[in-house]
Amino acid sequence: MPIVSMVEHSLYYPVPRNLNYMWNFGSLAGLSLIIMIVTGIVLSMHYTPHTDYAFDSVERIMRDVNYGWLIRYVHMNGGSMFFIVVYLHVFRGLYYGSFKSPRELLWWLGVIILFLMMATAFMGYVLPWGQMSFWAAKVITSMVGAVPLVGESLMELLWGGFTVDNPTLNRFYSLHYLLPFVIFGVVILHIWALHTVKANNPLGIDMKGPQDSVDFHPYYTVKDLFGTGVFLLVFAAFVFYAPNYLGHPDNYIQADPLKTPPHIVPEWYFLPFYTILRSFTDDWWLFQILLGWWGMEAKLAGVLAMAGAVAVLFILPWLDTSRVRSAKFRPLYRVFFWLFVIDCLILGWIGAQPAEQPWTAIGQWATLWYFAYFLVMLPLISRIERPRPLPHSISQSVLGGGGGAAVAAAASPMEKSR
Amino acid sequence: MANTASTEAAGAAGAHDEGAGRRDFLFLAGGAFGAFAAGASAWPLLDSLNPAKDTLAASTTEVDLSPIEQGQAITVKWRGSPVFIRRRTAKEVAEAKAVKPDDLPDPQSDEQRFGSGAREQWLVVVGVCTHLGCIPLGQKDTDNKGEFGGWFCPCHGSHYDISGRIRKGPAPRNLPVPPYTITAENKLIIGKEQPKDGPGGTTA
Ligand code: HEM
Ligand code: FES
């Protein structure tokens, strides 16, 4: 049975012995996906994808369906948990240089998953047909109108009408059901790629022999299980104590196509990208210097920048040319990495503010820094930086020079790697 | 297959060339046919996503204009979107006409938008911000009407004037004027082009 040999292969394949807790988020992302698919399938059995019934059917799930509230709250907060986990997973990759050779393909598959997740979550948020559902859908699909010449027709094609309406809800539901299974497929490729090139590790150096690795099972199955416990605790805390904390109260008002809520905000995981979208205004000097003068509309620039903010991850392997993977040995990169993290947090914070000064200006500087980090700073840093000397091998670093067969140390690799 | 090919290859040189030419042709013709078939079968699937016939059929809305006072605005639904109708005062019309189109981000005179004569007092625009589709404020007296006294979109701060033209903010274009007809009975039909010089006044 190929399945059995696949599982066996996964369990007994060699993994660097020095992985820290940042390596837990991959398995947690997989778990999140499974939780989303299982709860989603059950929700679908009670949900009605029609503008006249969708809102009420979700309320019915909340009030009348046995445990409906639980299943919906798990699905609703599960989306957020999924994004928390995946964002940490991605920043882990940035910090330890996991996107570099030979792991480019693995990285690209990850970026594709991120795009698919965003599309899925966006369309899922429309399904309950609340005010935020409707207006988020309206604002985001209207971005397509920025495409020159065919924008208008593309928008009608997307909506199946002249605005977001029942046909839109129906197709979003269909795609929201479909895409998670596409994600599932890409995840399998992602793991396949991982097993071909093997995991990176906090030192960013290659495994040189059996002394550098341990079997996935039982060492990392146990470690992943521990992480799963912590993850489920946080997850449960949201579901049972603050189920609506990450959502927006306006989504408990049924969608009204004639009335925009005073303050539209996307789900928290889209906030940084929303800021980038909104930063491109006609009077922003950077926009005028770069794009405005040859006649591009600010709206189109904003849309391209927002997509570019994720797409830039695709070309990361060419932007960061340093041969050293781990930020541990890259004094300059490390500083800029943390500045970048702060920048992303600022972008997220601004995304939740109204489109007024001083927020707009702060958002524009943060947007500038976001792209400058990738397109200017990274190539520059990798050229001028002098990395610290790399350890000879993982085992040498972990076991303090012994490099021998002292397997006992594998139980607490984190402390030993310092 | 492989057998046939090798038998042919083993044949006379002339026959072989002829066979190769035929194979190339069959390959190209087959490929072109396949590509066409794929495109032709993809099209119905894609086009099914476009607005359906019933959606298109529901595309006019009628409004009785007689009860609307000067300076009063109402909102009606046309093709799922709000349409702003405002009976403008003479002062508002004068204000809209005083603006030079060349100074605007999306140059259009008030006359180009709403015509002249009896017709010009009626402002009819699709009330959907041309930035990202929010509904601008300004239909109610208590609303924030923005810096140009027309409409203000709170989503990302677009200001429209009393002709519905974009004056400031991220929106690229004026609020669109839908095709509409004003009949002799003072009825407004949104979604139907006014016959030239119809009873409602001159169109531009
Ligand atoms: C990548 C995995 C998924 C993500 C990120 C995701 C995300 C979301 C989000 C954010 C919502 C809105 C929740 C709310 O505010 O009420 C939602 C709703 C919904 N999702 Fe998913 N989803 C995923 C997978 C699935 C799957 C696989 C199905 C079905 C097989 C599904 C079915 C539904 C249904 C029926 C709703 C509407 C009910 C509701 O709003 O609670 N989802 N999804
Ligand atoms: S949608 Fe009106 S300003 Fe953006």
User: CB of B76 within 8 A of CB of B190?
Assistant: yes
User: CB of B110 within 8 A of CB of B123?
Assistant: no
Q: Is A41 helix (H, G, I), strand (E, B) or coil?
A: helix
CA dist list (Å): A134 to A137, A230, A250, A372, A392: 5, 35, 11, 34, 57
How confident is the model at residue B9, as a pLDDT?
Answer: 45
A264 touches chain B (CB under 8 A): yes
* Nearest CA among A87, A43, A76 for reference residue A271: A87
* pLDDT one-digit tens code per residue, A21-64: 999 999 999 999 999 999 999 999 999 999 999 999 999 999 99
How confident is the model at residue A1, as a pLDDT?
Answer: 53
Is the CB of A36 within 6 Å of ligand 1? yes
ipTM of the complex: 0.71
Name which of A258, A265, A353, A360 to mutate to probe chain B: the one with the most chain B Cβ atoms within 10 A of its Cβ.
Answer: A258
The DSSP-derived string for B47-76 is: HTTSPPHHHHHT--EEEE-TTPPTT-EEEE
How confident is the model at residue A41, as a pLDDT?
Answer: 95
Closest residue by Cα to atom 29, ligand 1, is: A40
Return the DSSP state at A194: H
Is the CB of A76 within 6 Å of ligand 1? yes
Question: In this complex, do B132 and A142 lie within 8 Å of one another by their Cβ atoms?
Answer: yes
**Buried b vs exposed e over A225-248: b needs ≥16 C-beta within 10 Å?**
eebeeebeeebeebbeeebeebbb
Q: What average pLDDT does this structure show over A284-311?
A: 84
Band of the pLDDT at B123, cuts 50, 70, 90?
A: very high
CB-CB neighbors (< 8 A) of B75 in chain A: 258
Answer whether residue A324 shows pLDDT above 90: yes
Closest residue by Cα to atom 19, ligand 1, is: A124
Q: What average pLDDT does this structure show over A279-300?
A: 79
Is the CB of B177 within 6 Å of ligand 2? no
Q: How far apart are CA A394 and CA A214, in angstroms?
A: 12
For residue B135, give the nearest of A167, A258, A282 by CB distance: A258
How many Å separate Cα A57 from the centre of its chain? Answer: 29
A259 touches chain B (CB under 8 A): yes
CA dist list (Å): A80 to A65, A169, A246: 23, 22, 8
Answer whether residue A413 shows pLDDT above 50: no
Among candidate residues B16, B131, B156, B159, the one labeled active-site is B156
Answer whether residue B185 shows pLDDT above 60: yes
How confident is the model at residue B6, as a pLDDT?
Answer: 46
Answer whether residue A262 shows pLDDT above 90: no
How many Å separate Cα B100 from the centre of its chain? Answer: 25
A·B CB contacts under 8 A: 89
Band of the pLDDT at B28, cuts 50, 70, 90?
A: very high
Answer whether residue A91 shows pLDDT above 80: yes
Question: In this complex, do A141 and B133 lie within 8 Å of one another by their Cβ atoms?
Answer: yes
Which parts of A170-235 are beta strand (E)?
213-215
Is the CB of A34 within 6 Å of ligand 1? no
| Residue B159 bears catalytic tag | no
Long-range contacts of A222-227 (CB under 8 A, 24+ apart): A223/A19, A223/A21, A223/A24, A224/A24, A224/A27, A224/A28, A227/A21, A227/A24, A227/A25, A227/A27, A227/A28
Give CATH 1.20.810.10 domain extents, chain A: 13-209+216-264
CB-CB neighbors (< 8 A) of A282 in chain B: 105, 170
Q: Cis link prior to A317 (omega < 30° from 0)? A: no
Question: In this complex, do B49 and A143 lie within 8 Å of one another by their Cβ atoms?
Answer: no
* pLDDT one-digit tens code per residue, B37-67: 998 888 888 888 898 888 887 778 899 999 9
Which tokens go with A297? 């509309």
How confident is the model at residue B5, as a pLDDT?
Answer: 46
Instruction: Determine the straight-line distance between the first and last CA of chain B, rounded to whole angstroms.
Output: 71
Is the CB of A100 within 6 Å of ligand 1? no
The DSSP-derived string for A72-105 is: HHHHHHHHHHHHHHHHHHHHHHHHTTTTSTT-HH
Residues counted in chain A: 418
Helices (H), chain B: 2-10, 13-47, 53-57, 90-98, 110-114
Nearest bound ligand to the CA of residue A140: 2
Q: How far apart are CA A402 and CA A203, in angstroms?
A: 17
* Nearest CA among A185, A33, A26 for reference residue A90: A26
Answer whether residue A406 shows pLDDT above 70: no
Helices (H), B105-167: 110-114
A85 touches chain B (CB under 8 A): no
CB-CB neighbors (< 8 A) of B49 in chain A: 157-158, 160, 167, 171
User: CB of A387 within 8 A of CB of A330?
Assistant: yes
**By CA distance, what is B131's nearest residue in A?**
A299
Residue indicated by tokens 């991120």: A114
For residue B50, give the nearest of A142, A143, A156 by CB distance: A156
Phi/psi at A77 (5° precision): -75, -25
Question: In this complex, do B134 and A135 lie within 8 Å of one another by their Cβ atoms?
Answer: yes
Q: How close is the Cα of A142 to the center of ligand 1, in Å?
A: 22
3-state secondary structure A231-274: HHHHHHHHHHHCCCCCCCHHHHCECCCCCCCCCCCCCHHHHHHH
- Percent of chain B clearing pLDDT 90 (strictly above): 40
How confident is the model at residue A206, as a pLDDT?
Answer: 93
Nearest bound ligand to the CA of residue A83: 1
For residue A299, give the nearest of B131, B155, B157 by CB distance: B131
**By CA distance, what is B134's nearest residue in A?**
A260
How confident is the model at residue A144, as a pLDDT?
Answer: 83
Q: How close is the Cα of A126 to the center of ligand 1, in Å?
A: 9
Question: In this complex, do A260 and B135 lie within 8 Å of one another by their Cβ atoms?
Answer: yes
* pLDDT one-digit tens code per residue, B88-113: 999 999 999 998 888 888 899 998 89
A172 touches chain B (CB under 8 A): no
The CATH topology of domain A13-209+216-264 is Cytochrome Bc1 Complex; Chain C (1.20.810)
Q: What is the mean pLDDT of chain B?
A: 84
Chain A nearest-CA distance from B142, in A, is 14
